[in-house]
Structure 1
Amino acid sequence: MDSDFLPRIGITTGDINGIGPEVILKALEKQKITKLCTPIIYGSGKHLSKYKSELGFHDWQFFTINNTKQANRKKFNLVNCYEGPNFELTLGEVKKEAGQLAFQALKRATEDLKSGYIEALVTAPISKDNTQGEEFNFPGHTEFLAHAFGVEDVLMFLVSEDLRLGVVTGHIPLEQVKKQINKKSISKKLDLMKTSLINDFGIQKPKIAVLGLNPHAGENGMLGKEEEEIIEPVVNEYRSKGNLFFGPFPTDGFFATQQWKQYDAVLAMYHDQGLTPFKMLAFDSGVNYTAGLTGVRTSPDHGTAFDLAGKNEANPGSMMQAIFAAIDIYKNRRLNEELTSNAISPVEIKKIIKANKEKN
C-alpha cells in the first residue's frame, strides 16, 4: 500500500441552515486534516462563504474546483453543486431551497464515490422534511445510499472508540418493528456486522452480543416469544458454526452492568433500542457508518440542530471522528484486500508441504 497516498474524502455540507457547515469548518480548522487526506467539500461556495463569515472564520479558505481531478491535496477543496433559484442563508430555519442544495450535494458526492473519484464520503446531517422530493424519497442517508449502490441490505453501524452497535431495523415506525424481526433479517445483519468487523475494523474473530426484543428479553416467554422462537435459535446456529455470538440479552441490564464492554459489537433489534444507549455513551464522538456498501460512508451521529445554528456553539467532535473513521476504514479495506490477494490458498500450502516432504 502506497504510504504517500492521501485518500480523497468527500464531505457534504448537509442542510446549510443547520450546524453541518459549522462542525465541518471547526473539524477541518482544528486538525491538520490535509496531512491525513485530501478534503473535498460538496455544497455551495456562496453559502459556505456566508456561513463562515457569520461565524467569524475569516481566515479559513477553500479552493473551488469543478471535479475531483483538480483537487489540491494541501488545501480544502469545494465542488459547487447547487442548481436552482438563488436563496439567502437563514440560519436555524427550515427552507425548501436548503433541502434542495443538501440533496444535490449528496447526489454528486455519491456519484463520485461510486465512480471512485473519492475514496470515502462523510455526510453532514440533513433535514429529512425539506430534502424529500422525486429523487429523494427515503427516511435518511442510509436508505438513499443503499438504493444508489443497488444494495438490498446495509447495516446502520454506530461506532466509537469503545462501542460498536448496529440495528436490525432502522427508520421505521415502532409498530412495524415486530413484523420485520425474523430469522432472515437478523441473520443478514449479523453477516454484515461480522464482515464489516473483519474487513473494516481488522477484528478477525469478532465477538458479538445480540439484544432481545421484549422487556427482560421476553422473561422466558412471559413477555414475548420472539427471543425463544426467533432470536436465540439464530444466535445458537451461528455459534454452532464457530462464531462468537451470544444472546439475546435484556437491553437495560446489558448496558447498566456494562456488559457491552466485553464485546466487539452489539446488535440491537430496533433504532431507539440501540441509538439511545449509544448516544448517551458517545454523543460527541460517535459515528454513523453504513456497512455493506462497496464505498465507505460515515456521518456524525447528531442531527441538524437548527436551534444551535449560527451560535458558534456546535461541538465538532463527532464530525472529526467521522472523518477519521472514514480514513481508517478505507485504509483497513485496502490492507485487507492486499493481504487477501497475497495470501496462499490451502491447496498451494498442501503442494508446498508435499514438495518439501519429497525433497527430504
Structure 2
Amino acid sequence: MDKSDKIIVGISIGDLNGIGIEVILKTFQDKRMLDFCTPVLFGATKAIAYHKKALGIDTPVHGITSINQINHAKINILNIWKEEVVIELGKATKVSGDYAAKSLESAVKHLKEDKVDVLLTAPINKENIQSETFNFPGHTEYLAANLEGESLMILMTDELRIGLITGHIPISKVAESITPALIKSKVETMYTSLKQDFGIDKPKIAVLSLNPHCGDKGVIGKEDDEIIKPTIEEIKETGKLVFGPYAADGFFGSETYKQFDGVLATYHDQGLAPFKALSFGKGVNFTAGLCHIRTSPDHGTGYDIAGKNKASSSSFMEALFTAIQVFKTRKEYLELTKTPLVVRAK
C-alpha cells in the first residue's frame, strides 16, 4: 500500500485521567497495526509520555505540530496544547474534562476539513466535559450538531447491530418522544447505513416494543398498537424489510436477533443492556447517518483501573478495524452508485 493511500485515523484521546490513552497505546504496541492505517492522536506529547511512564508501556510515538507533518510509519501525536496539564489518574476533574473537549474539538475540525479520514473517540466523562462550548449529553449529540446528516447511535459486533430510536434522554421522556416521524427517520438511517456502510443489499430490520409484552393489547400501554405497529406497516409499504414490534425480553432470550441485520431499540438501556451482556469488551459504538465516520469502544473512562495497566484494548481495536472497514465499504458503495455522467448529443 502506498503511504498516501493509507487511511488516516484521527483519535481523540478522551479523559486524561481515564483508560483512553492506555487502550490507544496498547492497540498500537504491535507495529503491524500501522500497516492498516496512519493514526493521529489529538493531544500533547507530554500527556502521552506521562501515561507511558505510569503504565510502563514503551509504544513509540511521533510528535507533530501540524497535520501536514504526518509520518505514515509512526503513531503521530498532533500537539494542540503546549502547557503542562495536571493528570490525576482515576479522578474525574474539571481539567481532564476540559482537555478531553479540546482533543475532541480539534479532531472533529480536522475531520470536517478532510485532513483525517475517520474519527475514533476514546471515552469521555459526560459530567466533567460540560462547559459553555460543550453542552451535550455525549459524543453522539456533539457530532450530530457539528456534522451533516441524521445521526443514529449503533452498538455493534459482527453478529449484532443495535440502534437507538431515542438516545441520551431521561426515561420519563421516552414515550412522548417516540413519534411516527422519529421511527421513520431512524429506520431510514439504519437502512441506508446497512447498505452503504456494511454492504447489505436488502437489510432486515427489527423494531422493539416500548412496553412489556408489546403492551398486551393496551393493558400495559397503547404506544405499541397505536404508534409503533402502524408506522412499521407504513414503512413496509415502501418495500423495506422492517418487522415488529418485538417484546425485547423474548427477542434476545430466544436469539431472534440473529435473524436480522439491524435492531432498533426504543430507548437506551433496552438496547445497550442486552448488547453489553452479550458482547462487552468486543463491541463498537458506531455513529451512523453522518457525512463522516466515527467509532468508539463500548466502555467508559474506567477510572477504577486507570494507571494500573489492567485495561483491555480489545474494544478499541475493534472500533479501529470497524472504522477502517466502514470507510472502505462506504467509498466503494458511493463509487458504484454515483450518478453516471450524461453525455448530450450536439
Q: How does 1:204-353 map to 2 (within 5 A)?
A: 204-341=201-338
**Alignment partner, residue 82 of structure 1:** 81
**Alignment partner, residue 124 of structure 2:** 126
CA distance in 2, matches of 1:81, 1:208: 42
**Alignment partner, residue 200 of structure 2:** 203
CA distance in 1, matches of 2:280, 2:77: 28
Q: How does 1:64-83 map to 2 (within 5 A)?
A: 64-82=63-81
**Alignment partner, residue 114 of structure 1:** 112
**Alignment partner, residue 6 of structure 2:** 6
Give 1:281's aligned amino acid: L
Residue of structure 2 aligned with 1:135, choices 128, 133, 136: 133
**Alignment partner, residue 29 of structure 2:** 29
Return the offset for 1:161.
Answer: 1.1
SS in 1 for 2:305: coil
Alpha-carbon contact 2:12-2:121 (below 8 Å) kept: yes
Q: How many residues matched?
A: 344
Q: Deviations over 1:31-68 (max 9, x none)?
A: 6221111111111211110101111113x111111222
Return the offset for 1:342.
Answer: 7.2
**Alignment partner, residue 45 of structure 1:** 45
CA distance in 2, matches of 1:291, 1:268: 15
Alpha-carbon contact 2:86-2:95 (below 8 Å) kept: no
Q: Deviations over 1:109-132 (max 9, x none)?
A: 000001100000000000111111
Alpha-carbon contact 2:44-2:82 (below 8 Å) kept: no
**Alignment partner, residue 99 of structure 2:** 101
Q: Deviations over 1:305-324 (max 9, x none)?
A: 10010111111111001100
Give 2:226's aligned amino acid: E
Q: How does 1:127-206 map to 2 (within 5 A)?
A: 127-151=125-149, 153-206=150-203
Shift in alpha-carbon separation, 1:342–1:182, aligned structure 2, 3 A: closer
Q: Deviations over 1:155-213 (max 9, x none)?
A: 00111111000001111110011110110111110000001001111111100000000
Q: Deviations over 1:71-127 (max 9, x none)?
A: 11110001112366x332211011211111110010000000011000000000001
Gaps of 5+ in 2: none
Alpha-carbon contact 2:148-2:291 (below 8 Å) kept: no
CA distance in 1, matches of 2:31, 2:159: 22
TM-score by length of 1: 0.92
Return the offset for 1:343.
Answer: 6.1
Shift in alpha-carbon separation, 1:5–1:150, aligned structure 2, 3 A: closer
SS in 2 for 1:121: strand
SS in 1 for 2:183: helix
Alpha-carbon contact 1:44-1:101 (below 8 Å) kept: no
Return the offset for 1:30.
Answer: 3.7
Give 1:51's aligned amino acid: H
CA distance in 1, matches of 2:13, 2:206: 35
CA distance in 1, matches of 2:297, 2:21: 12
Q: Deviations over 1:258-292 (max 9, x none)?
A: 00000001000000000001111111111111111
Name which of structure 1's ranges 95-104 and 244-253 shifts more when overlaid on structure 2: 95-104
CA distance in 1, matches of 2:200, 2:161: 12
CA distance in 2, matches of 1:177, 1:128: 20
SS in 2 for 1:126: coil
Q: Deviations over 1:6-30 (max 9, x none)?
A: 1100111100110101111111114
TM-score by length of 2: 0.95
Structure number with larger C-alpha Rg: 1
SS in 2 for 1:220: coil
Shift in alpha-carbon separation, 1:208–1:340, aligned structure 2, 3 A: same
Alpha-carbon contact 1:51-1:89 (below 8 Å) kept: no
**Alignment partner, residue 351 of structure 1:** none
Name which of structure 1's ranges 64-73 and 223-232 shifts more when overlaid on structure 2: 64-73
Name which of structure 1's ranges 188-197 and 232-241 shifts more when overlaid on structure 2: 232-241
